[in-house]
């Protein structure tokens, strides 16, 4: 665990539950913007898994990067066009400049910015108890601490949310999964990389959609030859088959993410066979050359965000479908505007409940709009076993 460099007179202490991008964004906004003393608690141990892989550069990301002195183009790959593949080999092209980055590129930059602050892994939240003056949090390893506020940024299967609402399972399976791959371009055939470079390549048919684009390398490099090919393939999948798909070769049953190191040979073979049958040639080759991983696409309805001294952000407060390319930017926006609602507040004084209420209403209204759009996009592609908006 890193040591905690505390401001001489911080206005308040904030404990952030969840050490992925949303949690790091909250820590940066509260520390840099308000001078708060921040501590981040992440339930996983070891290296964080890049579950989202590719990330579209959105204004909320750009604003946070600018705030910490990072130029967005230094962590992005520039795309020039969109290419729609057809099963018969034909293509449809249109110019569409766009910047793409990667989950781990953002994570490393943001984590490094907080290097002097507490970032405690292997911290599984057990309880939150609130009084009029502080919140007490406890973890499975016996660690306990008091804090002025808690920010729940612990994702789709949020422990914060379940403790606050009493609802253990809020996430619902939508009827389709996202198979993914993230491969070094140097490890793929040069002709295949050339076909996919500098463009957003897609293929769609009812009940299936695949997208591909290049992102920075594992070390953040955007130099050709040192980048990675990122792809996601949405496929309608009956819920009855999920248990088998989400059980790794180790026998571990995963809730929301099948990691590449533990997918079974049988599952990998089934994915390759499906690709050979249903995808156009470049994507068939890409899937066969990749170490695949998978996420079931899940919905969490919009949630109350303000619970006394505890505030939910990101997927803990509700999800949007990945087709909107808004998951990361939504969490960053939540964090930035939460910091705005807390501006000027100091521990020991009453919480600014009116401003926090306005923050909750604004963010939930925006989330509802994006979530509706995501369901419409999925339905348009026939994704979901009950594909209706």
pLDDT at 117: 79
pTM for the model stands at 0.93
> Is residue 2 predicted with pLDDT exceeding 70?
no
- Looking at residues 161-175, what average pLDDT do you find? 91
Q: How confident is the model at residue 245 (pLDDT cuts 50, 70, 90)?
A: very high
C-alpha gyration radius of the chain: 21
Please indicate whether residue 52 or residue 323 has the higher confidence score (pLDDT): 323
Q: Tell me the per-residue pLDDT of 250-287, one tens digit each, with 9 for 90 and over.
A: 999 988 899 988 988 999 999 999 999 999 999 999 99
Q: How confident is the model at residue 386 (pLDDT cuts 50, 70, 90)?
A: low
- Burial string for 100-135 (b: 16+ CB within 10 Å, else e) reads bbbbbbbbbbbbebbeebbbbeebebeebebeeebb
Lowest mean pLDDT among 30-39, 224-233, 263-272: 263-272
CA dihedral 48→312→5→8, nearest 10 degrees, is 170
> Is residue 329 predicted with pLDDT exceeding 50?
yes
Tokens of 385: 């076993």
Which residues lie below 8 Å from residue 352, measured CB to CB, with a gap of 6+?
341, 342, 344, 345
- Looking at residues 199-208, what average pLDDT do you find? 96
Task: Enumerate domains of the chain plus CATH numbers.
Answer: 13-46+121-171+300-380 (3.50.50.60), 54-102+173-298 (3.30.9.60)
Q: How far is CA 171 from the centre of its chain?
A: 15
Q: How confident is the model at residue 387 (pLDDT cuts 50, 70, 90)?
A: low
Tokens of 343: 């501006």
pLDDT at 353: 97
Q: Tell me the per-residue pLDDT of 366-381, one tens digit each, with 9 for 90 and over.
A: 999 999 999 999 999 9
> Is residue 3 predicted with pLDDT exceeding 50?
no
Q: Tell me the per-residue pLDDT of 286-305, one tens digit each, with 9 for 90 and over.
A: 999 999 999 999 999 999 99
Q: Tell me the per-residue pLDDT of 211-222, one tens digit each, with 9 for 90 and over.
A: 999 999 999 999
Give the pairing type, strands 149-152 and 310-312.
Answer: parallel
Question: Quick one: which of 43, 37, 55 has its CA closest to 17?
Answer: 43
Q: How many angstroms separate the CA atoms of 311 and 240, rounded?
A: 35
């Amino acid at each position: 665990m890193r040591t905690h460099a505390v401001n001489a007179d911080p206005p308040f202490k904030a404990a952030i539950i969840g050490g992925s991008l949303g949690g790091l964004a909250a820590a940066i906004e509260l520390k840099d913007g308000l001078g708060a003393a921040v501590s981040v608690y992440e339930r996983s141990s070891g290296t964080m898994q890049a579950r989202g892989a590719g990330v579209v550069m959105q204004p909320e990301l750009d604003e946070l990067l600018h705030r910490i002195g990072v130029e967005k183009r230094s962590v992005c790959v520039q795309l020039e066009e969109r290419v729609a593949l057809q099963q018969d080999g034909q293509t449809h092209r249109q110019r569409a400049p766009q910047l793409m980055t990667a989950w781990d590129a953002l994570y490393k930059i943001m984590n490094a910015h907080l290097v002097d602050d507490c970032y405690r892994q292997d911290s599984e939240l057990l309880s939150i108890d609130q009084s009029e003056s502080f919140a007490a949090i406890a973890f499975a390893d016996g660690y306990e601490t008091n804090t002025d506020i808690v920010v729940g940024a612990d994702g789709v299967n949020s422990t914060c949310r379940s403790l606050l609402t009493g609802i253990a399972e809020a996430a619902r399976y939508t009827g389709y999964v996202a198979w993914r791959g993230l491969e070094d371009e140097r490890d793929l055939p040069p002709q295949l990389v050339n076909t996919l470079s500098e463009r957003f390549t897609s293929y769609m048919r009812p009940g299936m959609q695949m997208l591909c684009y290049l992102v920075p390398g594992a070390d953040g490099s955007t130099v050709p030859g040192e980048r990675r090919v990122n792809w996601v393939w949405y496929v309608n999948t009956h819920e009855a088959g999920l248990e088998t798909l989400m059980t790794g070769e180790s026998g571990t049953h995963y809730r929301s993410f099948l990691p590449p190191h533990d997918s079974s040979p049988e599952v990998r073979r089934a994915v390759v066979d499906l690709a050979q049958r249903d995808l156009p040639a470049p994507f068939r080759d890409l899937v066969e050359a990749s170490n695949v991983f998978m996420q079931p696409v899940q919905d969490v309805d919009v949630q109350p965000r303000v619970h006394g001294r505890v505030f939910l952000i990101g997927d803990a407060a509700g999800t949007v479908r990945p087709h909107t390319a808004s998951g990361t930017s939504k969490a960053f926006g939540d964090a930035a505007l939460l910091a705005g609602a807390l501006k000027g507040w100091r521990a020991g004084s009453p919480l600014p409940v009116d401003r926090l209420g306005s923050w909750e209403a604004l963010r939930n209204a925006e989330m509802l709009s994006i979530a509706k759009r995501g369901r419409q996009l999925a339905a348009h592609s026939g994704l979901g076993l009950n594909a209706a908006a």
